[in-house]
Amino acid sequence: MRNRVVVLGAGLAGLSAADLLCGRGMSVVVLEKEPRPGGLAATHSENGFLFDYGPHRFHTENDAVLSQVEGLLGGDLLTLTRCSRIRLLDRYFHYPLALGDVLASMPPCRGVQMMAGFMLEKARGLLKPREQRSFEGWVLSRFGKPLYDLYFAPYNRKLWGLESSELSADWASQRITVPSLAGLVRETFSPSGKVRSLAGRFRYPVGGIGRISEALASGVGNAGGVILLDTAPEAVVRRGDAWEVRAGGSEIPADWIVNTIPLGDLAGLLGSALPESAHRAASSLRFRSLVFLAVLLKGDTGAQDHWIYTSEDRYAFNRLSISRNFDPGMPRQIVFEFSCDRGDRVWNASKDELMDNAVRGAEHLSLFSPDDVVDGVIVRREHAYPIYKLGYRAEAGAVLDSLKSLGGIVSCGRQGLFRYNNMDHSMEMGRCAALEVLGEGSVEERFHWGEGVWADG
């Protein structure tokens, strides 16, 4: 019986796959290079700090996934109402944008410019419609140049390190709630109920988002699965009609591999088993990295936000989150996120450099002053966001098609599919991957990724 499975990566997708497979009596080994499970959905603990890698929150429309999480954590799930804002022009705006708030908070001249820019764009579109392949074309055609220049372009430049003309329109269509500035006006005065919105309420585990992955990992272990932490796979080699995964000085036989690590890393492990065309495609798939700086404070900030976006260049960080607004039992800390590429100036910055920028930025935001700071700690994460540059879909598809032709490998999750998604999506994908191993339909057949499934992360 082909019942030996090696899962690469102990994030939510990998652990969900392992959990279901162990429950079906499969022999499962999970390899995770980090010292704790969860991937980006882990909670970091160090020297009095306890923080998530960004403002994670759990919400889902999948009843099975919701029941699973409730079963894992029981009464340790808080129910919260989202509070998030954007900082622009020394003013706060609710996120997602609401017309009444914009009109009340925006300088009048800016508001007039935005509406005029939008009307000009509509008139221009009648003569020569903009291209719709890029993020730039998609947003400009729907919101006009003034709002694009004020918020969309600078924020995405900071987040991705690329110009919006280099990004796929998929990022816009998956992340922007209202279809256009006209739609924002229309929904303000005559709500249709059809415009998708961010989840207004969400669940959050007492003690940090990592409680979900920790509970999943515990269940895998209790069911006989093996999770090897601090263990990175070194090679994946074909052995007849099966596979062998080399890691930590051992050779682990596998009838199936469930992959949740980056496609480029998996391609490197497979070596000559993949054609050169797949390696070229895999090498072009890039991830944006993040550096997290947690700052411990003497007291509370007084802000009610769960997180705040900062698009302007005066802030080197692009977002911050306030831990105690998720769980009152968390330390008094603010977590700053700095987008970067591995090896660049931000990635290599010292704690003191990042602290200096974060404290100055927080002071400008009226959150705290230098005298309020107790200490800080930084954590670097390389594969945070798949970069949807133009052409990414064909490149990811080429790698996935090559993997499928090998047989015995199922790839899923944010990194394994090169697809930005929410926590519940990762858990659902992991379960779908496990069912594919069991011969009960493929991930593609079971997980629907249409316009109704979008990432509001």
DSSP state of 368: -
Question: CA 158, CA 350: separation in Å to the nearest integer?
Answer: 20
Evaluate if residue 189 carries a pLDDT over 80: no
Contact 125, 150 (CB under 8 A): no
Question: CA 4, CA 242: separation in Å to the nearest integer?
Answer: 9
275 and 295, same domain (yes or no): no
301 and 270, same domain (yes or no): no
Three-state DSSP at 262 gives: coil
100 and 171, same domain (yes or no): yes
- Half-sphere exposure at residue 246, Cβ-oriented, CA atoms within 13 angstroms: 10
275 and 398, same domain (yes or no): yes
Evaluate if residue 176 carries a pLDDT over 90: no
What's the token pair of residue 406? 């090998």
For residue 7, list its beta bridge partners: 30, 258
Strand (E) positions, 298-372?
307-310, 319-322, 333-340
113 and 159, same domain (yes or no): yes
Report the DSSP pairing between strands 201-205 and 233-239.
unpaired
The amino acid at residue 447 is: F
The amino acid at residue 410 is: V
Alpha carbon 215 to its chain centroid, in Å, reads: 21
Assign residue 236 the CATH number of its domain: 3.50.50.60
263 and 177, same domain (yes or no): no
What's the token pair of residue 351? 């704690």
pLDDT for the residue numbered 198: 59
Question: CA 388, CA 135: separation in Å to the nearest integer?
Answer: 9
**Helix, strand, coil fractions of the chain, as percent rounded to 5:** 40, 25, 35
What's the token pair of residue 221? 């272990």
pLDDT for the residue numbered 232: 97
Q: Among the residues of 343-442, which ranges form H helices?
A: 351-364, 392-406, 413-417, 423-437
Cα separations (Å) of 87 from 6, 69, 310, 455?
Answer: 45, 33, 5, 22
Span 156-176, average pLDDT = 91
Q: How far apart are the first and last CA of the chain?
A: 40
Span 402-410, average pLDDT = 96
pLDDT for the residue numbered 195: 44
- The band of 153, judged by pLDDT with boundaries at 50, 70 and 90, is very high
Find the largest Cα–Cα distance for the chain. 71
pTM: 0.93
Number of domains in the chain: 3
27 and 144, same domain (yes or no): no
Q: Which residue, of 366, 386, 406, is where some domain finishes? A: 386
User: What secondary structure does DSSP assign to 14-29, as a single string?
Assistant: HHHHHHHHHHTT-EEE
214 and 256, same domain (yes or no): yes
- The band of 118, judged by pLDDT with boundaries at 50, 70 and 90, is confident
* 155 membership: H or E segment, kind and range: helix 153-160
DSSP state of 152: I
The amino acid at residue 46 is: E
For residue 160, list its beta bridge partners: none
Over residues 276-296, the pLDDT tens digits come to: 999 999 999 999 999 999 999
pLDDT for the residue numbered 34: 96
Percent of the chain past pLDDT 70, that is, above it, reads 91
Question: CA 213, CA 219: separation in Å to the nearest integer?
Answer: 10
Over residues 300-343, the pLDDT tens digits come to: 999 999 999 999 999 999 999 999 999 999 999 999 999 999 99
* 187 membership: H or E segment, kind and range: helix 181-189
Phi, psi of 205 (to 5 degrees): -75, 135
Host domain of residue 140:
96-189
Nearest to 223 by CA among 65, 32, 27: 27
Give a yes or no: residue 421 inside a domain: yes
**Residue entry with tokens 């003690």:** 207
Q: Which residue, of 386, 406, 432, is where some domain finishes? A: 386
Span 241-266, average pLDDT = 96
Assign residue 161 the CATH number of its domain: 1.10.3110
Average pLDDT score over the chain: 91
Give a yes or no: residue 76 inside a domain: no
212 and 261, same domain (yes or no): yes
Question: CA 18, CA 59: separation in Å to the nearest integer?
Answer: 22
DSSP state of 102: H
Contact 220, 227 (CB under 8 A): yes
Evaluate if residue 188 carries a pLDDT over 70: no
Span 258-287, average pLDDT = 97
pLDDT for the residue numbered 184: 57
Phi, psi of 135 (to 5 degrees): -60, -40
Nearest to 348 by CA among 321, 378, 313: 378
Give a yes or no: residue 55 inside a domain: no
The amino acid at residue 226 is: V
Contact 449, 87 (CB under 8 A): no
DSSP state of 11: B
Over residues 38-96, the pLDDT tens digits come to: 999 999 999 999 999 999 999 998 899 999 999 999 889 999 999 999 999 999 988 87
Give a yes or no: residue 369 inside a domain: yes
162 and 214, same domain (yes or no): no
Question: CA 156, CA 153: separation in Å to the nearest integer?
Answer: 5
277 and 411, same domain (yes or no): yes
Give a yes or no: residue 141 inside a domain: yes
Question: CA 131, CA 140: separation in Å to the nearest integer?
Answer: 10
Give a yes or no: residue 196 inside a domain: no
Nearest to 265 by CA among 41, 415, 420, 427: 415
Over residues 418-446, the pLDDT tens digits come to: 999 899 999 999 999 999 999 998 887 77
Cα separations (Å) of 18 from 38, 276, 432?
Answer: 13, 31, 11
pLDDT for the residue numbered 196: 45
